[in-house]
Amino acid sequence: MDVLAQPVLVLNATYVPVAIRTVRDAIVLLLLNKAELVKDEKSLWIRSEKLKFTAPRIILLTDYYKVPKKRHKLSRENIFLRDNYECVYCKRKLPTSRLTLDHVIPKSRWGEVAKEKKPAEYHTWENLVTACRDCNTKKGNKLLQELKWELPENRSTNRRRIPLFSVSDQLAEKFGWAEYIRA
């Protein structure tokens, strides 16, 4: 692969990932002092007649770039993303083919739960979680307290945990972005 076409992670001034650009674009931003180098590839060199650079892997924008608010649709994939492709009950990380969506309060039991102990609607971000097939089958139409199960306290039920863009673990590992992507 052409070195200038390889990907570079772009962070805003608060170290939040905002884009993936090419090495060529990153070098232009660095030369214009619009970005600073955070991480480079010491073994890859880009040379011109007068300049010599190591290939950037992560750059930091010098000015703050406001991350646009993104309205995420309630979908199977977005629930999986929010829950990090992990069953909220047994904590196993599984491929999507082995994951299901579970309604924390089942539709058949909706009327039994006090209004103040449930979301306003049945099919919402707050009432949907990622579950493996085994846990979802075991749970069935039971309430969590009947099984003596609890949702993790640090589990966010809103859309803020969905990244602006997603990057595969392989790509993050290959280019050394993992600590910034998985924050």
80 and 58 co-located in one domain: no
Same domain assignment for residues 13 and 62:
yes
Query: Count of domains in the chain?
Result: 2
> 92-141: per-residue pLDDT in tens?
999 999 999 999 999 999 999 988 888 888 999 889 999 999 999 999 99
| Claim to verify: residue 9 and residue 46 sit in the same structural domain | yes
Q: How confident is the model at residue 39 (pLDDT cuts 50, 70, 90)?
A: very high
pLDDT category at 145 given cuts 50, 70, 90 is very high
Residue 13 forms part of a structural domain: yes
Does 152 reside within a domain? no
Cβ neighbours of residue 92 closer than 8 Å, sequence gap 6 or more: 86, 132
CA distances from 165 to 34, 42, 44, 142, 160 (A): 22, 27, 26, 35, 12
Three-class SS state of 48: coil
Residue 9 has pLDDT above 90, yes or no: yes
15 & 35 share domain: yes
Q: Is the pTM of this model over 0.85?
A: no
Task: Give domain status of residue 106, yes or no.
Answer: yes
User: Beta 7-11 vs 52-61: how paired, if at all?
Assistant: parallel
- 154 lies in a domain? no
Kindly state whether residue 180 falls inside one of the protein's structural domains. no
How confident is the prediction for the chain on average, in pLDDT?
87
Say yes or no: 47 and 83 in one domain. no
User: Residue 162 — very low, low, confident or very high, per pLDDT cuts 50/70/90?
Assistant: low
Task: Give the domain extent around 60.
Answer: 3-67+164-175
Same-domain pairing of 88 and 120: yes
If we measure between CA atoms, which residue out of 82, 58, 62, 56 comes closest to residue 14?
62
The enclosing domain of 143 has a CATH number of 1.10.30
Q: Are residues 143 and 80 in the same domain?
A: yes
- The helix or strand, by DSSP H or E, that contains position 76, with its residue range, turns out to be helix 76-82
Q: Are residues 60 and 97 in the same domain?
A: no
What 3-state class would DSSP assign to 104? coil
Span 65-91, pLDDT tens digits: 776 666 778 889 889 888 889 999 999
